[in-house]
Amino acid sequence: MSVEERIKRAEELYRKYGHVLLQDDEIRDLLGKLNFAIERTWDYMRKIGVTDVCRQCALETGSCCKRWVEDEHDEYILLINLLLGVKLPKKRYKEDGCFFVGENGCRIKAREVICVTFLCDRVVKKIGEKEKELQRIAGEELEIGFVLQEKIKKKIAELGSSDNKPELSCRVF
């Protein structure tokens, strides 16, 4: 399935189930925790200079966010982005880049493991021992995201199975 098809599928899931998912207390709570964890990861990355190294490298040589990276993102991680209020891109910014990378970096909030944890040699050299703390913080984001994805899949499966049940009709005599 192409990235455009996965985006379309995520948008269909959002239209069909988004309101129900957002009414679920556990899912809503996990979305809040995930949003906080994502901000924590980005804040720490900015603090220790990761984003500066990535920005400079992108200007010099391109980006680590190659086209194949988009294939790691399924419709559920894209649905989570929609639930977080992210508008999914409709066009590719850079022909050889990931569909989700834009002029100012990633255009989605919730990302897959490769995007959250990959550190090139240049970044590792820059941050040194701070890598362990970054991996710990990023790990929290990924754990919450995984749990949330599983809850969403389960809820949609439950809702989908109830969609397929035959309706019972009653006659009043």
> Over the stretch 27-68, which tens digit does the pLDDT of each residue have?
999 999 999 999 999 999 999 999 888 877 776 777 788 889
Orientation of helix 3-23 relative to helix 25-48, angle to 10°: 120
> Over the stretch 82-123, which tens digit does the pLDDT of each residue have?
999 999 999 998 888 899 988 878 899 999 998 898 988 989
**pLDDT attached to residue 167:** 42
**pLDDT attached to residue 147:** 98
The answer to the question of residue 83 being in a domain is yes
> Does 173 score more than 60 pLDDT?
no
The answer to the question of residue 173 being in a domain is no
The answer to the question of residue 150 being in a domain is yes
The answer to the question of residue 42 being in a domain is yes
The answer to the question of residue 171 being in a domain is no
Give the helix ranges, DSSP H, for the chain. Answer: 3-23, 25-48, 50-61, 75-83, 113-117, 121-127, 130-163
> Does 165 score more than 90 pLDDT?
no
* Residue 156 lies in domain: 3-163
CB 156 within 8 A of CB 17: yes
**How many domains is the chain built from?**
1
For the chain, the distance separating the N- and C-terminal CA atoms, rounded to the nearest angstrom, is 52
**pLDDT attached to residue 145:** 97
Residue 110's nearest CA partner among 54, 32, 51, 4 is 32
Residues 6+ apart with CB under 8 A from 109: 35, 38, 81, 84, 86
The answer to the question of residue 169 being in a domain is no
The answer to the question of residue 132 being in a domain is yes
Q: If pLDDT is split at 50, 70 and 90, which confidence band does 172 have? A: very low
Backbone angles phi, psi at 148, to 5 degrees: -60, -45
Q: Which residues pair with 106 in a beta bridge?
A: 101
Q: If pLDDT is split at 50, 70 and 90, which confidence band does 164 have? A: low
The answer to the question of residue 67 being in a domain is yes
Residue 7's nearest CA partner among 71, 74, 67, 80 is 74
CA distances from 15 to 20, 22, 111 (A): 10, 12, 21
> Over the stretch 123-159, which tens digit does the pLDDT of each residue have?
999 999 999 999 999 999 999 999 999 999 999 999 9
> Over the stretch 8-28, which tens digit does the pLDDT of each residue have?
999 999 999 999 999 999 999
Q: What is the pTM of this model?
A: 0.87
